[in-house]
Structure 1
Amino acid sequence: MARLRFGMIGGGYMVKLHSLAFRNLPALAWPDCPAIELVRIADIDERLARDAADRWGWSKSSADWKDVTRADDIDVVSVATPNDSHEEIVADAFAHGKHVLCEKPLSTDAAGAARMLDAARASGRVHMVNFTYRNWPAIRQARDVIAAGRIGAVRYFEGHFFQDHNNDDAVPLHWRFRRGPAGSGAAGDIGSHILDLARYLVGDVKRLAARTRTFIPERSLPGRPGVKAPVEVDDLVTTMLEFENGAVGSVHASWALPGFKNDVFFTVVGDRGALRFSWERNNELHFYSDEDPQDLAGYRQILVGGVHPGANLFWFPIVQGSRGQGSPGQGIGYAEAFVLNARQLVESIAVGRSPAPNFEDGLRCCEILDAALAAARGDGWVDVPRLR
């Protein structure tokens, strides 16, 4: 491919990360990447679309998302809109021959996600869900360690994604606090990430039990201070999981726990070792092996460097005498994670095969989320269904 022409739908917070990733990838991956053109961005707020185009380098803007999905001069559509709009936009993009990158969660429920997967399969185009953390070098290294059997058979997974930005009753009732456009609260918005990592590292979930809590039951309507309406979604979800391979564990998510900023955390314990990771120290992976002698036993710190999966794209110079491994410790961050996802998308388009995480992974995450919300409404364990 000589070039790929991108369109984007949604001019909110995520546009900066998608735009920077698409714009920077060709130079970082040069010469093994086609030219990327940022052709058109759309948002129902025309001013927001115009400002995003001017700021982030899109050639044109529009208030109608169909100007992106139906355009002859666009090959790939990136969707970063409220969750209840994903299905209609994505279906139209596939119907007009576009490849699609969609933000998570894929839909407000598993039924919608299943229809999106059907549309993707029928189109024959590449489809990907933006589960940002999967491609992170330390996390990919963790998966490689597990797959190589270096911690033995996995017994236990514990993961959480905790933030505190919504632990403030001054935050108004935007769309993420409403069940219709969001589907769920912290469970879908950030819990989908840690559920996806649980599947990526350990395997599929067989059944679960769950509880949810809403800590701030009412919030002011936007632009109408003092006029409040109910919050319709969860501020926290906590789950116990049984995996199909027999491992057990727990996954929790909240956007309203004081002291946590962006803590994507997991520990995976096998019968011969363990791994531990936190995004708040995202250039580190901690590894324990029971093969170490007792006087040296304990977790060792591994710093991300050019030897780790994907990290060679960035800031790691080769040091003389390092056997080609590069120099760890320079550090990479959140924007680089989006570059790595963009590279996976572009490479998948080149070979005509959808990457993981694709819409199948997006559907599976929605199935687990639906089961968790059902379990929270009940009082026991719930089997996770498969719609496809």
Structure 2
Amino acid sequence: MKTFNIGLVGCGFMGKTHTFGYKTIPLYYENLPFKINLKTVCASGKESAKNAAERMGYENYTDNFDDIINDESIDIVDICTPNYLHADEIFSAVKAKKHIYCDKPLVSKLADAEKIADLEKNYEKCTQITFQNRFFPATMLAKKMIDEGKIGKILTFEAKFLHSGSIDKNKPIGWKQDGEKGGGGVIVDLGSHVIDLMRYLLGNYADIFCKTKILYPERPDKDGNTVKIAAEDEAHALVTMKNGANGVMTISKISTGTNDELSFEIYGDKGALRFNLMDANYLYYFDNTQKEDVFGGERGFKQIECVQRFDAPGGLFPSSKSSIGWLRGHVHCLYNFLNCVYENKKCTPNFSDGAYVNYIMDLMYKSAKDGKTVFCK
């Protein structure tokens, strides 16, 4: 049986998340045709790497990314570092002919994204970007229903990703609030998910008008120094899709009272769909072909039980009727990648999909800067 040796670079929050996936995939998916071995973890310091290896169960540790790249036994390079490091790490992994799994966004600069997408065209190994919100049963069902014409011609939509983590002006910033290291602000961090999910469901973008907001022009850093803030806390975009649908996207880390609220409402001439990540067990569907009747009849939004009804070999553990959680989307996203590696087939979403998201984010920033609508290729 084939064993995939994993080299993880970056052992923070997302490193833990991906490691959770590797450890639990054999439980969620029975009779796998491959095994997973946590070979080496890389961190910015030796002590951090050692602690991560002991805590997460990796065989080896290093503070030198080249140790992973030059290890011929490592099959998969998993990138969980800050955004500004992704490009060099991807180029190195491509040169070493590794399979690559990279957390979103693909990179911090559009020029690098375009180079990577061009490289991917002739790359023989598997590449995938972590857009885990595609991989909940509810969002996969939404995609299926839209493709089958269940809600007809798409007319309008609204998509939001709301957090409240940046409300406190005294909270020290991290690298995600550093415009240089993050490649932007909330558009990059949360907006990349919204951009990708709406493209997955509705297709490509036609035009965008965007406005952004920085709540506090100065904030403290982790050392207590006051620094100027260039990364936006909130963004609002009016968009038109290539299919003619008009939409509104709201992305914010200053939405008081919210936790991790990714949601969408999609309205067609035959029906409508609603989803909220805080209620991820269900997809809500309105069938506009049902006739109105006395007292309402059966007309109205239907709550579809998606819970953990994944395709085989998923959906067996825990019970398909069990409540789902945030991590489960990550696990299925990672399983999709590993299965593609095993079957030697192209992954979706791949780096070209990630590069498209970089392209749309770049247009959003251009629109916000110029105060004008921008048009997509």
Shorter-chain TM-score range: over 0.9
**2:136 match:** 136
- Are the equivalent residues in 2 in contact too, given 1:235–1:254 (CA < 8 A)? yes
**2:365 match:** 373
- Residue 220 (structure 1) shift: 1.2
Q: 1:312 aligns with which of 306, 310, 315?
A: 315
RMSD: 1.5
- Residue 245 (structure 1) shift: 1.2
Which is worse superposed, 210-219 or 116-125?
Answer: 116-125
**1:40 match:** 40
Q: Which amino acid aligns with 1:203?
A: G
- Residue 48 (structure 1) shift: 2.1
| Distance in 1 separating the partners of 2:167 and 2:336 | 35
- Are the equivalent residues in 1 in contact too, given 2:34–2:342 (CA < 8 A)? no
How is 1:63-212 mapped onto 2 (pairs within 5 angstroms)?
Answer: 63-212=63-212
- Residue 73 (structure 1) shift: 1.5
**2:252 match:** 254
| Distance in 1 separating the partners of 2:150 and 2:310 | 16
Q: Which amino acid aligns with 1:108?
A: S
**1:288 match:** 286
| Distance in 1 separating the partners of 2:157 and 2:211 | 18
> Are 2:364 and 1:356 equivalent residues in the alignment?
no
| Distance in 2 separating the partners of 1:117 and 1:342 | 20
Which is worse superposed, 179-188 or 287-296?
Answer: 287-296
- Structure 1: stretches of 5+ with no match in the other structure: 317-325
**1:322 match:** none
Q: Give the TM-score normalised by the residue count of structure 1.
A: 0.92
Distance 1:37 1:7, change over 3 A: same
- Are the equivalent residues in 1 in contact too, given 2:308–2:323 (CA < 8 A)? no
- Structure 2: stretches of 5+ with no match in the other structure: none
> Are 2:312 and 1:303 equivalent residues in the alignment?
no
| Distance in 1 separating the partners of 2:316 and 2:363 | 38
- Are the equivalent residues in 2 in contact too, given 1:29–1:313 (CA < 8 A)? yes
> Are 2:14 and 1:22 equivalent residues in the alignment?
no
User: 1:126-158: CA deviations, max 9, x gaps?
Assistant: 110001111111100111111111111111121
> Are 2:215 and 1:236 equivalent residues in the alignment?
no
User: 1:107-134: CA deviations, max 9, x gaps?
Assistant: 1122111112233334321110001111
- Residue 47 (structure 1) shift: 2.3
- Residue 305 (structure 1) shift: 4.1
- Are the equivalent residues in 2 in contact too, given 1:315–1:331 (CA < 8 A)? no
- Residue 170 (structure 1) shift: 2.4
> Are 2:366 and 1:343 equivalent residues in the alignment?
no
| Distance in 1 separating the partners of 2:122 and 2:169 | 45
Q: Which amino acid aligns with 2:277?
A: W
**2:275 match:** 277
| Distance in 1 separating the partners of 2:258 and 2:45 | 32
Distance 1:99 1:205, change over 3 A: same
> Are 2:220 and 1:214 equivalent residues in the alignment?
no
| Distance in 2 separating the partners of 1:100 and 1:313 | 28
Which is worse superposed, 43-52 or 280-289?
Answer: 43-52
| Distance in 2 separating the partners of 1:84 and 1:368 | 18
- Are the equivalent residues in 2 in contact too, given 1:70–1:93 (CA < 8 A)? no
How many residues align? The count is: 372
Q: Which amino acid aligns with 2:272?
A: A
